[in-house]
Amino acid sequence: MIALEDFYLLVGLLFAAVAVMTLREAGHPRRFGTALFWGLYAVAYLCGERLPPALAGVLMIAMALVAGCGLVKPGRPRLAPEEQRRAAAARLGNWLLLPALAIPVVTMFGATVLKDAAIGLRPLLDQKHLTLVSMGCGALVALALACLVTRATPLQGVREARRLVDAMGWAVVLPHMLAVLGLLFSEAGVGKAVAQVVTTAIPLDSQFIACAAFCVAMALLTVVMGNGFAAFPVIAGGIGIPVLVGAYGANPALMAAIGMFSAYCGTLMTPMAANFNVVPAALLELSDRNAVIKAQLPTALPLLLANIFLLYFLMHQ
């Protein structure tokens, strides 16, 4: 059976290779610090649940300290001349899109057509993480197609992965860190604290004010945490369930859907959502790191306002 843990091992090996390549680059401005950072991240994937929780926490803190001290810097990868790269792109044309398109196609195929496939009595794909495993298979198929189209080797794919990781920097691990932070917030009872603060400071006797408080709080906490999935249990537990559902009888499914949509408005407005807002700016080599956020603000703010009115008018549907 193809399990999710198999892809965790592959990701760990990839980050280990990035660490080794960084360590071997003599001219790297922060060779040892950067190699240590990616090496620690590789350990988290390679050891997984076999790593004691306390040791995993120490590992995460060590990574934060290394990055916080400015020891994670991009290297100077060897690239082909600009003219050669442009000529290769012109020669390959739209065939360059084939590997990228393979990922969603294989993911859909695995999650639908192959969901019941089995070898003997064992399912072919991990049933608990069917979509993620299918996407992992799609990534491997995409790598094979990229090598076929460009006539490169898998090792070149690893080098390109290292170049992209260097361009993104420590922001690669931010979604991982924020997801853990959201879990800690939930376990620590932050939702109850939010409920107490909101009900004390905001007059929730008005249904419209309650809807506005819920949507705005979802967006603001997402701005702080950079992750709508991490913000949702906190605000839903603090305002959505006790106030909207409990006091005003809102439809829980509708409350959850519009709440997450409001959280996504926050995603559009924060650098903490690095994979959406910082990484594209880095990959496109934009001079303004916040250019993506500035372009998205005119969409995010009106959309948040629209969510408030949608929740107010549709909450009992």
Query: pLDDT, tens digit, for every residue of 66-75?
Result: 988 989 888 8
Say whether 273 sits in a helix, a strand or coil.
coil
pLDDT in tens, 199-214: 677 777 788 999 999 9
- The three-point CA angle 313-314-317 to 5° equals 140
DSSP β-ladder status, 122-123 and 118-119 = antiparallel
pTM for this predicted structure: 0.75
Q: Where are the beta strands (DSSP E) in 120-171?
A: 122-123
Virtual torsion, Cα 40, 42, 48, 51, nearest 10 deg: -30
Between 106 and 236, whose confidence is greater?
106
Say whether 122 sits in a helix, a strand or coil.
strand
pLDDT score recorded for residue 191: 65
Compute the half-sphere exposure of residue 298: CA atoms within 13 Å on the CB side of its CA: 3
pLDDT in tens, 294-313: 999 999 999 999 999 999 99
pLDDT tops 80 at residue 177:
no
